[in-house]
Amino acid sequence: MATQVMRLATSVVWLLLGATAALAQDLDPRAYAHIPVNSTFLVSGFAVSHGGVVNDPTLPDFDVDATVETPSVGVGHSFSLLGRTAQAFGAMPYSWVQGRARGETRVTRAGVGDMRVRLSVLVRGAPATSVSEFAKAPRRTILGTSLTVVAPTGQYFPDKLLNVGTNRWAFKPELGISQPIRQRWLLDAYAALWLFGANDSYFPGTTVVTQAPMGAFQVHLSYNFRPQLWTALDATCYVGGRATKQGVSDDHMQSNSRVGGTLVLPVGRRHSVKLAASRGDIRYGPDFGTFSIGWQTAWVQRGTPTVR
C-alpha cells in the first residue's frame, strides 16, 4: 500500500508540474499546483528562439534579427510554510546568441545568462500535506502567489547591443488561480507586474536606461489524458514598460501577446519530457518564436502527517 501511495504521489507531481520550469519563456501552465511537501524536481532543457529577440525582450531596441540557443538547468523543492504548500525554484541558463543588430555585421556571443529564482506559496486550497495525506486530498480551487527575481549574473558587454545578460535586476510579484473543471480539465490564470532596475551601461556603454513597470497576464487550459500525460493551450500578454533613455521617454508602451502549446510525456515513473512552443502577435515590441524541450526528474520523500 505504501508503495502504491508513493507511485501515486510521484505521478501527480508530474501530472501537475510538468511545465513548472519554463526557462525560456514566460508561459508556465500549472505553476500553482498542489503537490506533497518534501518533493524535489530537477529540470534540464534546451530552447531556441528566433526573430527580433535578445535575452531581454522587454528592452526597447527592436531592430534585431537573432537566434538564441539556451541550455539550462534548474532545481526546485516543495516545503511547508506556515502550514501552506510552498515551492522554491532556481535556474541558471547558458546562451549562444547569433545575429545582427541595426545592420551591423553578424556577431556571436556565448556565456552564462541571468539567474532566475522563484518562491511561490499556495495561500488557499492547498494545505501542506505529506505523501499519504496528499493521495486522499480532493481537487480544489487554488489561490497562490509568487515572487520571481532575475539577477544580473549574465555575460554583458556595455559597448555591444547583442548580449547574453541584461545588466539589471528584475522582479515579478504575481497572483494566480488554478480551477479544476470536471475530472480532466484545468484552467489557470495569473496576473503579474514586472519591476525593473536601471541599466547604467546600455549600448554604446554610457547610456542609462530605465523602464516603467509592465503588466503580465497568462491563461492556460490543460487536459489530462492520463497521469503524467497532459497538454495545454497557453496565452500571455504584456502591457506597459515604456523605456526611458538618458531621461528621454520612449513614445510607445509595449503591447505584446503570445500564444503557444505545451505537451508533457511520461518516461517511466520518475521522469518526464516537456515540449513547448510559442509565437508572438506583436503590436509594439520584439517579434520572435520559441521552441523548447526539457527533461524532468522528481523525487517524493515520505513524511509524517502535517500538523494543521
Instruction: Output the pTM of the full model.
Output: 0.88
Nearest to 31 by CA among 216, 187, 150: 187
| Sequence letter at residue 8 | L
Give every CB contact of residue 223 below 8 A, 6+ residues apart in sequence: 184, 185, 186, 230, 231, 232
Nearest to 285 by CA among 249, 239, 245: 239
Please give the C-alpha separations between residue 297 and each of 7, 45, 56, 292, 304, in angstroms, as whole numbers: 14, 12, 28, 17, 23
Per-residue pLDDT of the chain (308 residues; tens, 9 = 90+): 445 545 555 555 555 544 443 333 478 999 999 989 999 999 999 999 887 655 455 555 556 678 889 999 999 999 999 999 999 999 999 999 888 766 556 788 899 999 999 999 999 999 999 888 887 888 899 999 999 999 999 999 998 878 889 999 999 999 999 999 998 999 999 999 999 999 999 888 888 999 999 999 999 999 999 878 999 999 999 888 888 888 887 766 677 888 999 999 999 878 999 999 998 765 555 567 889 999 999 888 765 544 44
HSE, CB side, 13 Å, CA atoms: give it for residue 93.
32
Rounded to a whole number of angstroms, the distance between the first and last alpha carbons of the chain is 25
Domains (range + CATH), the chain: 2-300 (2.40.128.130)
Query: What is the side-by-side strand order in the sheet with 243-245?
Result: 199-202, 207-211, 243-245, 248-249
